[in-house]
Amino acid sequence: MHVGRPLIRGFRALVFAVACTGVTAALHFAAGGHRFDPLHLAAAVAAVTAAAVPLGKRQRGPLGLLAACIAAQAVLHVWFTLASGHLAHLDPGLTMTGVHLLAAAATALWLARGDAALAALADLLTLFAAPALALLLAAAPVAPARTAPAHAAPRPKARRFAAVAPLRGPPLGALAG
C-alpha cells in the first residue's frame, strides 16, 4: 500500500496538522497563558492540513519534515499571536524563535518516526491482506448456475462442447504417426 494514496495522504496531513498546531498552541499557552477559541484551533488545523496534503505524495525524511514544521511553526505563531491579541509578539525575539525551532525539530522527529511506522504497517498489511483476500475469494460461495426457462429445450451435451473438442489434446498429426 503506497503512502501517497489519497486516504492515507489525508490522514498523514491531518496528523501533521494536529501535531504542529497542538505543539504551537501549547507553547503559546505556556508563554502567555492565553487559551484559544476552539474555532481558532480548528481553523488552524484545517489550514495546515490543506497545506500539507500536497506534500504527502511521498514519504518525507526528518529534514523534509523539519522544513515543513518550521514553516508551520512560523505561520501558526502569527495566527496564534493575532488570535491572542498580543501584537507585540508578532516579531518574535531570539528566545521565542529558538523555542519554535526546538519545537519544530522535536515535532519533525516524532512525525518522521510515526510516518515510517505507518508506512511499515501499511506494507505489512498489504503483504498479509493479499493472500487473505485471495483465500476469502476462493472460499466465497459460487453463484448458482442460471437455468434455462422451462419452455426452452435443453441442448445435448455433445453439441454444447462440439466447438471446444477439436481444440483439446495433442495435434492431429501426432496421433497419426
Any idea where the domains of the chain sit in the sequence? Answer: 6-124
CB atoms within 10 A of CB 70: 18
Q: Higher-confidence residue: 54 or 132? A: 54
Indicate whether 154 pLDDT > 70: no
Q: Measuring CA to CA, how many Å separate 152 from each of 67, 97, 145, 156?
A: 73, 85, 16, 12
For residue 96, name the pLDDT band (cuts at 50, 70, 90).
confident
For residue 43, name the pLDDT band (cuts at 50, 70, 90).
very high
Q: Higher-confidence residue: 19 or 159? A: 19
For residue 124, name the pLDDT band (cuts at 50, 70, 90).
confident
Grid coordinates of 69: 514544521
pTM of the model: 0.65
Grid coordinates of 65: 519534515
User: What was the pLDDT predicted at 107?
Assistant: 92
User: What was the pLDDT predicted at 159?
Assistant: 55
pLDDT digits (tens, 9 = 90+) for 69-86: 999 999 998 888 888 787
| Alpha helices by DSSP H, the chain | 6-32, 38-52, 62-84, 94-139, 157-160, 172-176
Q: What is the average per-residue pLDDT within 79-94?
A: 78
Q: Higher-confidence residue: 58 or 103? A: 103
Q: Higher-confidence residue: 53 or 136? A: 53
